[in-house]
Structure 1
């Protein structure tokens, strides 16, 4: 018995989210039968790096699971390669038996691709100053004030490491790096920024903001950092062209997002090298 980890990408606009849901097509329901074909008697002991909601895509979802010693791993990886269904595998590694895709992750990167016309304020220095206020607090319940009656004991204390917005032509990139995220965090943050009016200030905007969540199809999981790196089976940038061939997402957005794909300790982007 051994443990393997794979890095996959998928077109979230073709699925009802990542996690299994009864009678709905999800990424997990598509891949689990393949993984179980090599499962040892002890079970898969399966985990993944991050849950994504309906319409949210991933370039860098990491799965880890147990396989039997007699399992043909190359054949398993080939059967997971399903670009015609919007799923592709680009990375693989045999890992420690204790490896856990969620708990061993050092950080996760999400990128939200927006249009400038959706923003009320076009002063990016001011928007990034607002985001510095977001980084200065640990409890992000201001983004969930409409949820307070339902949150109960759920903690919204999170360590968000970096948040920035960048203009790229007619588009705006919201880039968020964190150790973990509350549900819909980036989409709510995007809505928070969209409705911000120049000059209002952080605290004033919190008081007037009516909570909402921006569109899921604009959000992408673009990176997960572990103490170990994956062996590349295919070029992730080339795989994007195959996996997202029938997508609803625009070609410019995909080209822009592909620049965030890097297995080094730096993220290569249209804005230069963003070190972590």
Structure 2
């Protein structure tokens, strides 16, 4: 346990020195600011482009702002996170720094868990930062009652990150290439998205957490209606981390 905490402290220092935490926070902050502004300004921009044409546009609402926020998070934010976290284990393997740490008694399982915890902390901090900014701007620009459960809608996406980062860590452990974690994550995400086309799979599919959360926002679905997807997501994360530990345990450093 002591080795885990020492490794986690080291990961925190590295995240700061290599600007990973700062870059992630700034990118997500930009997404948080951009989401309500796009919803607010899009009608005016379309009208200016279509001068001389009759364009009927719906009135911007808070739902549109949150739709843009979650679009940013799922289409860009998750992959920015993957880029930041994809080399977390492979870099150590390339640099040979784990040899010294393991020789001093650090358990390899502690390496995986510390790196996963640090990646998860970065995800939570960046996501909450962007959410807070979007929440404030949306409340200011769109003071309506169409989005009664913004906090409830955040949890499924936050929960999906638990599996997403476990996949990235596993990919980073499988190879010394810094791109393996990202490629594995992208491949799994694509596969899950394709599986989501089948209605029988949808309620169990982890990627449903990134799509159905807007129904929680408007109150058309309940939090526990996504329970099967939560369970599969957690089971998948545990399996990926267990496999990553097994791979690192058997790897020659």
> Fold match, TM over 0.5?
no
The normalised TM-score by structure 1 is 0.25
Whose radius of gyration is greater, 1 or 2?
A: 2
The normalised TM-score by structure 2 is 0.27
